[in-house]
Protein backbone atom coordinates (compact mmCIF):
# COMPACT_ATOMS: atom_id res chain seq x y z
CA UNK A 1 0.00 0.00 0.00
CA UNK A 2 1.24 3.44 -0.95
CA UNK A 3 0.23 6.31 1.32
CA UNK A 4 1.18 9.79 0.10
CA UNK A 5 1.37 12.55 2.71
CA UNK A 6 1.13 15.97 1.13
CA UNK A 7 0.37 19.58 2.02
CA UNK A 8 1.78 23.08 1.99
CA UNK A 9 5.39 23.43 3.22
CA UNK A 10 5.48 23.66 7.02
CA UNK A 11 2.24 21.80 7.78
CA UNK A 12 4.11 18.88 9.35
CA UNK A 13 4.40 16.32 6.53
CA UNK A 14 7.86 15.04 7.40
CA UNK A 15 7.13 14.79 11.14
CA UNK A 16 3.82 13.00 10.56
CA UNK A 17 5.09 10.76 7.73
CA UNK A 18 7.95 9.41 9.83
CA UNK A 19 5.66 8.71 12.80
CA UNK A 20 2.96 7.19 10.60
CA UNK A 21 5.45 4.91 8.83
CA UNK A 22 6.76 3.71 12.20
CA UNK A 23 3.26 3.02 13.50
CA UNK A 24 2.28 1.07 10.36
CA UNK A 25 5.64 -0.67 9.95
CA UNK A 26 5.96 0.85 6.47
CA UNK A 27 9.07 2.28 4.84
CA UNK A 28 9.47 6.04 4.88
CA UNK A 29 10.27 7.67 1.54
CA UNK A 30 11.05 11.32 0.91
CA UNK A 31 9.99 12.50 -2.56
CA UNK A 32 12.94 14.85 -2.68
CA UNK A 33 15.50 12.11 -1.90
CA UNK A 34 13.84 9.68 -4.32
CA UNK A 35 13.85 12.27 -7.11
CA UNK A 36 17.51 13.13 -6.50
CA UNK A 37 18.55 9.45 -6.42
CA UNK A 38 16.77 8.81 -9.71
CA UNK A 39 17.99 11.97 -11.41
CA UNK A 40 14.44 13.37 -11.67
CA UNK A 41 15.32 16.60 -9.92
CA UNK A 42 17.46 19.55 -10.85
CA UNK A 43 18.93 21.41 -7.89
CA UNK A 44 17.73 25.04 -8.19
CA UNK A 45 19.25 27.13 -5.42
CA UNK A 46 18.41 25.38 -2.15
CA UNK A 47 15.39 23.79 -3.84
CA UNK A 48 14.98 20.84 -6.15
CA UNK A 49 12.91 21.20 -9.31
CA UNK A 50 11.23 17.86 -9.87
CA UNK A 51 9.80 16.46 -13.11
CA UNK A 52 6.42 15.40 -11.69
CA UNK A 53 5.42 13.15 -14.60
CA UNK A 54 8.67 11.20 -14.33
CA UNK A 55 8.25 11.12 -10.55
CA UNK A 56 4.72 9.69 -10.85
CA UNK A 57 5.89 7.01 -13.28
CA UNK A 58 9.07 5.96 -11.48
CA UNK A 59 7.74 6.07 -7.93
CA UNK A 60 4.55 4.29 -8.98
CA UNK A 61 6.62 1.47 -10.49
CA UNK A 62 9.19 1.35 -7.68
CA UNK A 63 6.64 1.11 -4.86
CA UNK A 64 3.64 -0.67 -6.40
CA UNK A 65 4.15 -3.82 -4.33
CA UNK A 66 5.62 -2.07 -1.31
CA UNK A 67 4.22 -0.64 1.90
CA UNK A 68 5.43 2.93 1.97
CA UNK A 69 4.60 6.35 3.32
CA UNK A 70 5.74 8.94 0.75
CA UNK A 71 6.45 12.39 2.17
CA UNK A 72 6.46 15.60 0.17
CA UNK A 73 4.40 18.45 -1.24
CA UNK A 74 4.52 16.65 -4.62
CA UNK A 75 3.69 13.20 -3.25
CA UNK A 76 0.07 13.44 -4.44
CA UNK A 77 1.40 13.16 -8.00
CA UNK A 78 2.47 9.58 -7.23
CA UNK A 79 -0.23 6.96 -7.89
CA UNK A 80 -1.13 6.12 -4.29
CA UNK A 81 -3.76 4.00 -2.57
CA UNK A 82 -4.40 6.90 -0.22
CA UNK A 83 -3.46 10.58 -0.21
CA UNK A 84 -3.37 12.33 3.16
CA UNK A 85 -3.57 16.11 2.80
CA UNK A 86 -2.41 17.84 5.97
CA UNK A 87 -3.89 21.26 6.64
CA UNK A 88 -2.75 23.97 9.04
CA UNK A 89 -4.19 27.39 9.78
CA UNK A 90 -2.41 29.77 7.34
CA UNK A 91 -1.25 31.95 10.23
CA UNK A 92 0.58 28.95 11.72
CA UNK A 93 1.99 28.14 8.27
CA UNK A 94 3.31 31.71 8.14
CA UNK A 95 4.90 31.45 11.60
CA UNK A 96 6.57 28.12 10.80
CA UNK A 97 7.93 29.28 7.45
CA UNK A 98 9.15 32.50 9.05
CA UNK A 99 10.98 30.43 11.66
CA UNK A 100 12.48 28.44 8.79
CA UNK A 101 13.85 31.65 7.30
CA UNK A 102 11.75 31.64 4.12
CA UNK A 103 12.10 34.86 2.13
CA UNK A 104 9.01 37.07 2.19
CA UNK A 105 7.84 36.22 -1.33
CA UNK A 106 8.14 32.48 -0.90
CA UNK A 107 6.42 32.72 2.48
CA UNK A 108 3.55 34.72 0.94
CA UNK A 109 3.12 32.23 -1.91
CA UNK A 110 2.85 29.31 0.46
CA UNK A 111 0.54 31.04 2.95
CA UNK A 112 -1.73 31.94 0.04
CA UNK A 113 -1.61 28.38 -1.30
CA UNK A 114 -2.77 27.06 2.09
CA UNK A 115 -5.50 29.73 2.26
CA UNK A 116 -7.02 28.71 -1.07
CA UNK A 117 -6.61 24.90 -0.83
CA UNK A 118 -4.14 24.56 -3.73
CA UNK A 119 -2.72 21.16 -2.76
CA UNK A 120 -6.09 19.72 -1.74
CA UNK A 121 -7.51 20.61 -5.16
CA UNK A 122 -4.49 19.13 -6.95
CA UNK A 123 -4.79 15.93 -4.92
CA UNK A 124 -8.51 15.62 -5.70
CA UNK A 125 -7.80 16.06 -9.41
CA UNK A 126 -5.51 13.03 -9.32
CA UNK A 127 -6.91 10.66 -6.74
CA UNK A 128 -10.34 9.71 -5.39
CA UNK A 129 -8.95 8.50 -2.10
CA UNK A 130 -8.14 11.69 -0.26
CA UNK A 131 -8.16 12.16 3.50
CA UNK A 132 -7.94 15.77 4.58
CA UNK A 133 -6.68 16.23 8.14
CA UNK A 134 -6.65 19.50 10.08
CA UNK A 135 -3.47 19.55 12.18
CA UNK A 136 -4.12 22.96 13.77
CA UNK A 137 -3.61 22.80 17.54
CA UNK A 138 -2.84 19.08 17.44
CA UNK A 139 0.36 17.25 18.30
CA UNK A 140 1.98 15.06 15.62
CA UNK A 141 0.89 12.03 17.67
CA UNK A 142 -2.74 13.22 17.66
CA UNK A 143 -2.58 13.75 13.90
CA UNK A 144 -1.20 10.24 13.38
CA UNK A 145 -3.90 8.75 15.64
CA UNK A 146 -6.55 10.50 13.55
CA UNK A 147 -5.09 9.13 10.31
CA UNK A 148 -4.82 5.60 11.75
CA UNK A 149 -8.44 5.73 12.96
CA UNK A 150 -9.61 6.74 9.48
CA UNK A 151 -7.59 3.95 7.86
CA UNK A 152 -8.82 1.39 10.42
CA UNK A 153 -12.38 2.56 9.82
CA UNK A 154 -11.98 1.94 6.08
CA UNK A 155 -12.58 5.61 5.28
CA UNK A 156 -11.23 6.33 1.79
CA UNK A 157 -12.33 9.88 1.29
CA UNK A 158 -12.88 12.69 3.74
CA UNK A 159 -12.63 16.28 2.56
CA UNK A 160 -14.05 19.64 3.53
CA UNK A 161 -12.79 19.68 7.12
CA UNK A 162 -11.37 23.20 7.04
CA UNK A 163 -12.40 26.58 5.72
CA UNK A 164 -9.72 29.23 5.92
CA UNK A 165 -11.84 32.01 4.41
CA UNK A 166 -12.17 33.57 7.87
CA UNK A 167 -8.39 33.52 8.27
CA UNK A 168 -7.91 36.17 5.63
CA UNK A 169 -7.67 39.14 8.05
CA UNK A 170 -5.11 37.33 10.22
CA UNK A 171 -2.78 36.68 7.35
CA UNK A 172 -3.12 39.84 5.28
CA UNK A 173 0.25 41.12 6.59
CA UNK A 174 1.99 38.08 5.12
CA UNK A 175 0.44 38.25 1.65
CA UNK A 176 1.99 40.09 -1.29
CA UNK A 177 -1.33 40.72 -3.12
CA UNK A 178 0.24 41.14 -6.52
CA UNK A 179 3.15 43.25 -5.29
CA UNK A 180 6.71 42.00 -5.70
P1 LIG B 1 6.81 19.84 6.39
O2 LIG B 1 7.54 18.55 6.14
O3 LIG B 1 5.36 19.79 6.00
O4 LIG B 1 7.48 21.03 5.77
P5 LIG B 1 7.75 19.53 9.12
O6 LIG B 1 7.34 18.16 9.53
O7 LIG B 1 9.17 19.72 8.71
O8 LIG B 1 6.78 20.09 7.98
O9 LIG B 1 7.37 20.50 10.32
C10 LIG B 1 7.67 21.89 10.26
C11 LIG B 1 7.96 22.39 11.66
O12 LIG B 1 6.80 22.30 12.44
C13 LIG B 1 9.02 21.57 12.39
O14 LIG B 1 9.76 22.45 13.18
C15 LIG B 1 8.20 20.61 13.23
O16 LIG B 1 8.89 20.24 14.40
C17 LIG B 1 6.99 21.44 13.57
N18 LIG B 1 5.77 20.62 13.68
C19 LIG B 1 5.38 19.65 12.85
N20 LIG B 1 4.19 19.13 13.21
C21 LIG B 1 3.81 19.81 14.32
C22 LIG B 1 2.67 19.78 15.19
N23 LIG B 1 1.64 18.94 14.98
N24 LIG B 1 2.63 20.64 16.21
C25 LIG B 1 3.63 21.51 16.41
N26 LIG B 1 4.73 21.61 15.64
C27 LIG B 1 4.83 20.78 14.61
MG1 LIG C 1 9.19 18.09 4.96
Tell me which fold the domain 2-88+127-161 belongs to: Rossmann fold (3.40.50)
Residue 45: predicted pLDDT: 79
Q: Confidence class of residue 3 from pLDDT cuts 50, 70 and 90?
A: very high
State which ligand 1 atom lies nearest to the alpha carbon of 7.
3
Give how far the C-alpha of residue 117 lies from the chain's centroid of Cα atoms, to the nearest Å.
Answer: 11
Residue 46: predicted pLDDT: 75
Residue 88: predicted pLDDT: 98
Query: pLDDT for 21-63, tens place per residue?
Result: 999 999 999 999 999 999 998 888 778 899 999 999 999 999 9
Neighbours of ion ligand 2 (CB under 5 A): 13-14
Residue 177: predicted pLDDT: 78
Q: Which residue has the higher pLDDT, 144 or 47?
A: 144
At 149, give phi and psi (nearest 5°): -65, -40
State which ligand 1 atom lies nearest to the alpha carbon of 135.
23
Tell me the best of 9, 13, 15 to mutate to test the pocket of ligand 1, counting ligand atoms within 8 Å of each CB and taking the most.
15
First to last CA, the chain: 43
Give the CA radius of gyration of the chain. Answer: 16
14 is in an annotated binding site: yes
Ligand 1 cavity residues, CB under 6 Å: 7, 9-15, 96, 135, 138-140, 143
Three-state SS string over the chain comes to CEEEEECCCCCCHHHHHHHHHHHHCCEEEEHHHHHHHCCCEEEECCEEEECHHHHHHHHHHHHCCCCEEEECCCHHHCCCCEEEEEECCHHHHHHHHHHCCCCHHHHHHHHHHHHCCHHHHHHHHHCCCEEEEECCCCCHHHHHHHHHHHHHCCCCCECCCCCHHHHHHHHHHHCCCCCC
Residue 22: predicted pLDDT: 98
Query: pLDDT for 84-138, tens place per residue?
Result: 999 999 999 999 999 999 999 999 999 999 999 999 999 999 999 999 999 999 9
8 is in an annotated binding site: no
State which ligand 1 atom lies nearest to the alpha carbon of 99.
14
Residue 37: predicted pLDDT: 94
Complex ipTM value: 0.99
Amino acid sequence: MIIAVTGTPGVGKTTVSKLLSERLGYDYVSVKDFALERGLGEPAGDEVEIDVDALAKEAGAAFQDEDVVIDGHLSHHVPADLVVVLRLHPKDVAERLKARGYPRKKLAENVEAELIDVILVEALERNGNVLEVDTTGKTPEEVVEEILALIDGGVKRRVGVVDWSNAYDDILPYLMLGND
